[in-house]
Chains A and B, each alone.
Chain A
Amino acid sequence: GAVVSQHPSWVICKSGTSVKIECRSLDFQATTMFWYRQFPKQSLMLMATSNEGSKATYEQGVEKDKFLINHASLTLSTLTVTSAHPEDSSFYICSAREAGRNYGYTFGSGTRLTVV
């Protein structure tokens, strides 16, 4: 079945630094990638949607200059948290969808980001 590999699974960084999270589709072409954020004991909130080769579409209230999304290839999408602050500490999950697969969404295993 479809697999999305998300790395790293957890990361600790210092306040003010940037962190990059990668999601790779291993056996299919991810034409659309979704990035979610989940705070402790809360639900998954969609941050942005990206289509390969296009700029990402951000949800209301999500700072596009802070959360940089790159989807330059059909198998790789990255989320970079720039100038991270403690309030950015969260669980980030990607979800990939292949064109033509009827609502076949595949989720990564998530990345736990802690900013100290």
Chain B
Amino acid sequence: AQSVTQPDIHITVSEGASLELRCNYSYGATPYLFWYVQSPGQGLQLLLKYFSGDTLVQGIKGFEAEFKRSQSSFNLRKPSVHWSDAAEYFCAAAGGSSASKIIFGSGTRLSIRP
């Protein structure tokens, strides 16, 4: 069955420190991959997406993600976090037909320590 796994429920990092949020997927073939951010009570904002090509993807707000086929991973990184980055982060995947649905991971809540 298709699935997206985010092993970390909650992560706390100090402001200015680097960040890495983990994401693993299980699909029959390489899916299209996404990272979204959600602030409390708000909708989703797309940070970045991977379809094909360069495995290091640049996104908005200084985020990047690296696709590693051998590890079935798509981890999100940021070199220096800001207090405003505190939010819920969702990794998601879609694959197969042109009308494929997006499946979301369980999310990782990011807290920033002053």
Q: Do A and B form a real pair?
A: yes
Name the A residues within 8 Å of B98 (CB-CB): 99
**A 31-43 to B, binary, CB cutoff 8 A, 1 in contact else 0:** 1101010000111
Instruction: Give A95 to B42 CA distance when docked, in angstroms.
Output: 14
Binds B, one of A11-19, A77-85, A107-115: A107-115
Place the interface of chain A in its size category: 20 to 34
The smallest C-beta distance from A62 to any residue of chain B, in angstroms, reads 13
The smallest C-beta distance from A59 to any residue of chain B, in angstroms, reads 9
Place the interface of chain B in its size category: 20 to 34
Contact A109 B43 (CB under 8 A): yes
The smallest C-beta distance from B104 to any residue of chain A, in angstroms, reads 5
Contact B102 A95 (CB under 8 A): yes
Contact B99 A102 (CB under 8 A): no
Sorted nearest first, the 8 A-B pairs with minimum C-beta distance are A109-B43, A110-B43, A44-B104, A107-B44, A43-B106, A103-B32, A43-B104, A32-B99
Instruction: Give A45 to B46 CA distance when docked, in angstroms.
Output: 17
Instruction: Give A93 to B36 CA distance when docked, in angstroms.
Output: 14
